[in-house]
């Protein structure tokens, strides 16, 4: 039986002849990103082959192999480079008196990131925060790829890895404290997988979830170190409890103003509150803005280029934790494309301009713009961002137009989620991700999902209101909207100054 020696943690795993390396690693809790779902075309699951040989793939000039294609035939030694979790972002959480004693945990399961907070139930105090990359990334970067993995019989594996990571994070954040309750919010597919419920029906028309209502079970049923687990209610197949909880936290269900909430991620969820009614849509933006499907793209981990700017003379970058640049995350991606537009290094179609007189034109080599020696943006990357930004802006415009509202009537645009917290709003408007006309009325609100989950943890009345509100939310489907299709094509172009 072949063995796999893992560096730098000096772990040894055993495998069977013919096993895929990616599967063996995942089986033992070593989850590395595979945004393409193991198809071999994203090249994000590379590991360094130190010793031995594998079948199905040849090491590149750096000694790296694709774990999703490498089949074990003999003893090997590999080196992993697994990024740390992304940082949590804040929401202006109001002080609220709880009606319980002890401690509770709130969990937001993002497609890319998990975020948890330990809460003192009597005071609502946030005692500790923690986050990590979602280990399900080994089965693909987006919801549909994970549904497909479930269709291939991997539902138990996807559930196991998310529950194990949740268990690990709760123990790390709570220590010896007894946790009374865990509140979970997530998109509808993530909630199904969390409970081991097959999400197949979410991935095919008419896109009907097995459940959208609140679910409650004992922690021991899921092997979690908490007394009770409560999954907050969703509104539809693609408007999950992360959105219903976020809308509730922002008070959109009560305001008489015209307010938009946009959660920018793999799915771009858009919610409109107008004259006391709440409408919601979801558009598939794809994982590009979270670093997947980008040649040098990564999540918000140490060493990710998170900001690109000029000091008037030179191109400058910053990285997360000030570590050596190993890739680029969403906020850096947006900055770079905004810079390329401003410097006229790409035209309105997104094509590179070879004869630009930009001071940074020497960084454009072939179909790549080099931010530094190891991080670049390719023509293909720009196309991926065009698809993502077009889908989100088209979704915003369609939701407004379907309800007879002009962009000028919007009192406020709220931006939720991790990417929105770190991105430069001016640059997001410059590339056409957000409507520039309401840039001065745009506000970043952070992790609204966790904020809503906290309210539900502290007060049962909040749970009751959320259950009612989730049922009343009106869903606007974009898939068959002619308006959306028109806006999607129009917004594919980049704005020109």
Cβ(337)–Cβ(328) under 8 Å?
A: no
Q: Is residue 330 part of a domain?
A: no
Which token pair is 112?
A: 């890319």
Q: Band of the pLDDT at 440, cuts 50, 70, 90?
A: very high
Mean pLDDT of 88-116: 79
Q: Band of the pLDDT at 95, cuts 50, 70, 90?
A: low
Which stretch of 62-66, 103-107, 454-458 has the lowest confidence by average pLDDT?
Answer: 62-66
Which token pair is 422?
A: 């770190």
Predicted confidence at residue 497, as pLDDT, reads: 65
DSSP bridge pairs for 271: 261, 280
Q: How far apart are CA 296 and CA 379, in angstroms?
A: 12
Strands 277-284 and 327-328: unpaired
Mean pLDDT of 310-319: 90
pLDDT one-digit tens code per residue, 229-255: 999 999 999 999 999 999 999 999 888
- Per this entry, what is the length of the chain? 497
Q: Is residue 185 part of a domain?
A: no
Cβ(438)–Cβ(407) under 8 Å?
A: yes
Supply the angle between the helices 379-402 and 330-342 in degrees, to the nearest 10: 100
Look at the block and give the residue holding tokens 């959109």. 252
Q: Is residue 364 part of a domain?
A: no
Phi, psi dihedral angles at 6 (to 5 degrees): -105, 125
Q: Is residue 469 part of a domain?
A: no
**What's the burial of 178, exposed, middle or buried (CB within 10 Å: 0-12/13-18/19+)?**
exposed
pLDDT one-digit tens code per residue, 389-410: 999 999 999 999 999 999 999 9
Residues with Cβ within 8 Å of residue 153, at least 6 apart in sequence: none
- pTM of the full predicted structure? 0.83
Q: Is residue 159 part of a domain?
A: no
Scanning 112-232, the segments in alpha helix (DSSP H) are 143-149, 155-174, 188-195
Query: Three-state SS for 120?
Result: strand
Mean pLDDT of 191-219: 96
Residue 340: pLDDT over 70: yes
Q: Does the N-terminal peptide bond of residue 206 adopt cis geometry, omega within 30 degrees of 0?
A: yes
Residue 85: pLDDT over 50: no
CATH of the domain at 11: 3.10.20.30
Mean pLDDT of 80-102: 61
Which token pair is 270?
A: 């858009």
Residue 463: pLDDT over 50: yes
Q: Is residue 12 part of a domain?
A: yes
Residue 165: pLDDT over 50: yes
Q: Which domain holds residue 22?
A: 3-79
Q: Is residue 332 part of a domain?
A: no
Query: Can you point out the beta strands (E) in 243-323?
Result: 259-263, 267-274, 277-284, 304-310, 315-319
The DSSP annotation for 368-395 comes to EEESSSS-EEEHHHHHHHHHHHHHHHHH
Residue 91: pLDDT over 70: no
Count the domains in the chain: 1
Residue 418: pLDDT over 90: no
Residues with Cβ within 8 Å of residue 209, at least 6 apart in sequence: 188, 192, 199, 201, 202, 234, 236, 237
Residue 434: pLDDT over 60: yes
Q: Is residue 18 part of a domain?
A: yes
Scanning 73-199, the segments in alpha helix (DSSP H) are 143-149, 155-174, 188-195
Phi, psi dihedral angles at 29 (to 5 degrees): 80, 15
Residue 207: pLDDT over 50: yes
């Amino acid at each position: 039986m072949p063995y796999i020696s893992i560096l730098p943690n000096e772990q040894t795993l055993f495998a069977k002849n013919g096993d895929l390396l990616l599967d063996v690693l995942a089986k033992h809790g070593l989850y590395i990103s595979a945004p393409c779902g193991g198809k071999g075309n994203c090249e994000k699951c590379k590991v360094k082959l130190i010793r031995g040989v594998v079948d199905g793939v040849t090491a590149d000039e750096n000694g790296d192999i694709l774990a999703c294609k490498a089949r074990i035939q003999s003893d090997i030694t590999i080196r992993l480079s697994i990024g740390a979790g992304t940082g949590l972002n804040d929401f202006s959480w109001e002080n609220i008196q709880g009606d319980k004693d002890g401690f509770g945990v709130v969990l937001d399961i993002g497609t890319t990131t998990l975020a948890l907070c330990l809460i003192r139930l009597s005071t609502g105090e946030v005692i500790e925060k923690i986050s990590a990359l979602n280990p399900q990334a080994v089965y693909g970067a987006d919801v549909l790829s994970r549904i497909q993995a479930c269709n291939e019989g991997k539902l138990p594996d996807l559930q196991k890895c998310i529950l194990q990571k949740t268990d690990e994070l709760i123990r790390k954040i709570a220590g010896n404290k007894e946790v009374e309750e865990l509140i979970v919010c997530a998109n509808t597919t993530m909630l199904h997988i969390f409970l081991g419920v097959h999400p197949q029906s979410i991935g095919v028309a008419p896109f009907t979830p097995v459940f959208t209502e609140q679910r409650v079970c004992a922690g021991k049923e899921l092997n979690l170190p908490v007394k009770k687990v409560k999954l907050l209610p969703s509104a539809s197949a693609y408007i999950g409890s992360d959105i219903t909880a976020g809308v509730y936290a922002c008070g959109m269900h009560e305001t008489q103003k015209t307010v938009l909430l946009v959660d920018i991620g793999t799915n771009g969820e858009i919610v409109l509150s107008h004259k006391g009614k709440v409408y919601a849509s979801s558009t598939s933006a794809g994982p590009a803005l979270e670093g997947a499907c980008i040649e040098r793209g990564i999540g918000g981990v140490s060493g990710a280029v998170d900001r690109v700017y000029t000091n008037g003379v030179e191109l400058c970058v910053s990285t997360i934790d000030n570590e050596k640049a190993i890739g680029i995350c969403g906020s850096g991606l947006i900055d770079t494309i905004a810079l390329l537009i401003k410097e006229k290094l790409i035209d309105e179609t997104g094509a590179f301009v070879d004869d630009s007189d930009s001071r940074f034109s020497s960084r454009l080599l072939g179909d790549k713009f080099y931010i530094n020696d190891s991080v670049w943006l390719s023509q293909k990357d720009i196309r991926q961002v065009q698809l993502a930004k077009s889908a989100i802006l088209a979704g915003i415009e369609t939701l407004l137009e379907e309800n007879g509202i002009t962009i000028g009537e919007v009192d406020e645009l709220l931006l939720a989620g991790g990417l929105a917290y770190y991105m430069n709003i001016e640059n997001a408007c410059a590339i056409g991700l957000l409507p520039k006309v309401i840039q001065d009325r745009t506000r970043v609100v952070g992790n609204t999902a966790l904020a809503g989950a906290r309210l539900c943890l502290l007060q049962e009345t909040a749970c009751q209101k959320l259950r009612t509100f989730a049922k009343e939310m009106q869903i606007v489907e974009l898939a068959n909207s002619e308006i959306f299709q028109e806006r999607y094509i129009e917004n594919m172009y980049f704005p020109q100054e």
